[in-house]
Structure 1
Amino acid sequence: MNLMIERAFMIALLLSVSGFVFCAIFLPFERLAYRWTSARTMATINTIALLSFVIPLYFVVSIKDGSEKAFREMHLLVYPENSGFDSFVFGVRERIHMEYFATIWLIGGIIFFLYYAWSYIRLLRVVRKSMFAVQEDIWHGIFCEIKGERRIADVRLVGCCNIATPCTIGVRKKYIAIPAYMLTGFDAEEIRFILAHEWYHVVHRDLLRKLLGLFLNCLNWFNPLYYLLRKNLSEWTEAACDEEVTRNFTKGQRRKYCELMIKILELEQSRYGEELCSVGFMGASINSYKSRMIKIMKRNSRNSRAGRTAVLAVALGILLFSNAVAKEADVPVNMLFSRNVKFAERGQFEVVKVDKIS
């Protein structure tokens, strides 16, 4: 069991290397890539970036070349008298019990999983406990129109007294939940904006994407870059819904859509509390609002199928390259954290040529 935990921890560390390389290459050019593609494609690429932290493509090579079996069954030799990385490994392992890190990683992952599971169950209970069918003719009528245009089963419109912003929750049975205090004060066009935005969260399966990101967070809870990437993905999913809603809008309608965002922000300031397990109309920071409004007001005229295909191809190429880097890092990572490490002194082993081995 200890060996299985250790090997899983090694895979998580190497995938962190893969994810770091992917983000280091792609994120600096993210804005440039967006000029040639859509917000939805950028959300897809950020999902690929998250998966670079968990899809062990390099592991296939490790199994094929026998290195994974060797790491499990044999000892790595570290020569403390050598300069460079061997000396560094010896110094670190003399001072710190690196073999306990795998257990710490497992305990942290379990704690994060229990926290996210509890947050999701609590949110569902809170909404179901205080939800009610929206009877207002204008909300119900517009919702039925949108539902008729884009048929998806098991989607309900409900009001809720215990949420601060319009949001979508649920995986099997989906709910578009509107705060009770927001059911009045909007005209028909604003209501259509809100409901259309939430409907596209359902169409894009953004809640499932968010829950996947939270689950994968349990494996990467120690990596600050993962949290940054998860936040980035959340902002692109919101921008993707804005993009779909405003695709055929006039400049005046786009301006009104932005004004609606400000209006909702003002309404929820005294009530706001971001829920981990929902996707909603508003983001989580002032900068994200500004970024979304800029994207809404500026049409992305260069967006094309060729651009989307090219950017996705580059992203997949970076994913393969990042896994190749992770493969190259497998020996140093195992030297640092594996239990199967022996420190060799001068004279204990003799280096011989292959042709001398009988």
Structure 2
Amino acid sequence: MDISESSVNSIEQMCGVDYPVFLAGMAAISGPQLVAAVANAGGMGVMGGLRLAPKTLRRWIHEVRSLTDKPFGVNLVPQFGGPDVFEAQFQVILEERPRLLSLFYAEDYCEDMIPRAKAAGMLVMVQVGTIALARTALSAGADIIVAQGSESGGHLNRGTISLLSLLPALLKEAAGKPVLAAGGITNRHDVRTLMSMGASGVLVGTAFVATEESNAHPLYKQKIVDATVEDTEYRTGYSFGWTYGTPHRVIPNRDPWNLLRLMGGGARSIDKPRLAKKLSLYAGQGVGKIDSVVPAAQRMAELIQGLPEKNARLPDGLSRIETAA
């Protein structure tokens, strides 16, 4: 039976998770440690597959499974290596069968990939920033749509619409299929607002960059903590590994003598400090509400508190963790 046509009555049941809090599949940042930490805290951990060679992608999937027995997903983006590499990555996904395949900037592949993934027993989630992209994904059989508002950090899928305007339009377009909200979400108050508007759950990126388990460079994490609500910038210029003109949101580097300030990127823990100091770093408009680097379980505990009361009981072990204000 098609998963989307089964008798499930919530996204939690559909995905096999306790809470509808999804980790954004951030390339190189959402690695096995962070994915497993989110999954073990009751959410849907999503691994960032962009720029991973197929062998590395498989190894990371195995590593996640060594750290958790909970469901998780993998995000694929066709922006590295061309169609052959993308297909090779997809073959790994078909063989390993994580619970969820997350697609971004992949509308040209939806008609082919979504049916194949669903035939292999996976759910498919597609992140979009416009109604037209949502229609493409839904017509191809996507199970979950992510409404990506322009507040989001990193790359934006064509959209310039704020989340509070985009979400109602995509809820109407989805006609009952789950729609997650994404963009500027960092705390319980954000979650409560979006759930009250009809979102089935939330997808969170920047707030999880600033966690102990993320693969972000320590200087990147601190830049997020230090930033205010005014400290991000929407750009359509250079970003690492992407076509010039692809829209993205960063904390801009203001050093006028540094040419790398013109490029957006996400500095990893394995990168040299000078790179983290020179890049403009991906981040969403919620940065002003992030005041510390914490364990992913603590970030989850805070977000969970914004869910409707029937879902807001903290998982075992988290009730003793101080949630962020």
- Bin of the TM-score, shorter chain as denominator length: under 0.3
TM-score of the two chains, using structure 1 as the length reference: 0.24
> Comparing both chains, which one has the higher relative contact order based on Cα–Cα distances under 8 Å and sequence gaps of 6 or more?
1
TM-score by length of 2: 0.26
Q: Whose strand proportion is higher, 1 or 2?
A: 2
Larger radius of gyration: 1
- Give the helix-richer structure, 1 or 2: 1
